[in-house]
Chain A
Amino acid sequence: MAETKYMTINMGPQHPATHGVLRVVLELDGETVVSSIPDIGYLHRGIEKIFENRTYWQGQPLTDRLDYTSGMSNNLAYCLAVEKLLGIEIPKRAQYIRVMLSELQRIAAHLLWISTHALDMGAMTVLFYGFRERESCLKVLETVAGARLMPDYIRFGGLREELPEGFLKEAKAFIDDLPRRIDEYETLLTENVIWKRRLKGVCPLSAEDAIGYGVTGPVLRASGVNYDVRKAYPYSSYEDFDFEIPLGTAGDVYDRYLVRLKEMRQSVRIVDQAIQKLPEGPIKADAPEYVPPEKEEVSKDMAALIRHFKIMADGIKPPKGEAYASIESSKGELGFYIVSDGSEKPYRVRIRPPSFLNLGSVSKMIEGSLVADVVAAIGSIDIVLGEIDK
Chain B
Amino acid sequence: MESLYTLIEMVVKNIVVVLVLMGCVAYTTLLERKLLGRLQVRLGPNRVGPFGLLQPIADGVKSFFKEDIIPDEADKTLYVLAPGISLFAALSMFAVIPFGDTVTFLGRQIKLVVADLDTGLLYLLALATLGEYGVVLGGWASGNKYGVLGALRAAAQMISYEVALGLAVIGTIILAGSLNLRDIVSAQEGMWFVIKYPAGFLFYLVAGLAEINRTPFDMPESESELACGFNIEYSSMKFATFMIAEYAHMFTIAAIVTTLFLGGWMGPWLPGPIWFLIKVFCVIFFFIWERGTYPRLRYDHIMQFGWKVLLPLTLLNVVVTAALVAMGVL
Measured CB to CB, the residues of A under 8 A from B are 7, 9, 15-17, 30-31, 118-125, 127-129, 132, 188-189, 192, 194-195, 197-198, 370-375
Contacts and interface: CB of A to CB of B under 8 A. Distances in A.
B295 A194 contact: yes
A373 B145 contact: no
Contacts of A125: 39-40, 292-293
Contacts of A375: 224-225
B146 A194 contact: no
30 contacts: A9-B149, A15-B227, A16-B224, A16-B227, A17-B224, A30-B152, A118-B295, A122-B216, A122-B296, A123-B295, A123-B296, A124-B40, A125-B39, A125-B40, A128-B41, A129-B40, A192-B294, A192-B295, A194-B216, A194-B296, A194-B297, A195-B295, A198-B295, A198-B296, A198-B298, A198-B301, A372-B298, A374-B225, A375-B224, A375-B225
A140 B147 CA distance: 44
A371 B41 contact: no
Helix, strand, loop or mixed for chain A's interface? helix
Given A9-B145, A197-B301, A17 B225 contact: yes
B215 interface: yes
Interface in B147-174: 149, 152-153
B111 interface: no
Nearest to B215: A122
B41 A129 contact: yes
Contacts of A189: 295
A374 B225 CA distance: 8
Interface residues of B, number: 30
Interface of B: 36, 39-42, 145-146, 149, 152-153, 215-216, 218, 222-227, 291-301
A31 B227 CA distance: 15
Q: Pick the most buried of B149, B215, B225, B299: most chain A CB atoms within 10 A of its CB.
A: B225
Contacts of A128: 40-42
A375 B229 CA distance: 14
B288 to A, nearest CB: 11
Contacts of A129: 40-41
A194 B225 contact: no
B314 to A, nearest CB: 20
A378 to B, nearest CB: 10
The 3 lowest CB-CB distance pairs between A and B, nearest first, are A122-B296, A128-B40, A123-B295
A371 B226 contact: yes
A9 B149 CA distance: 10
Contact of A121 (B146, B227, B295, B300): B295
B298 A373 contact: yes
Nearest to B304: A197
A31 B299 contact: yes
Contacts of A371: 149, 225-226
Contacts of A198: 295-298, 301
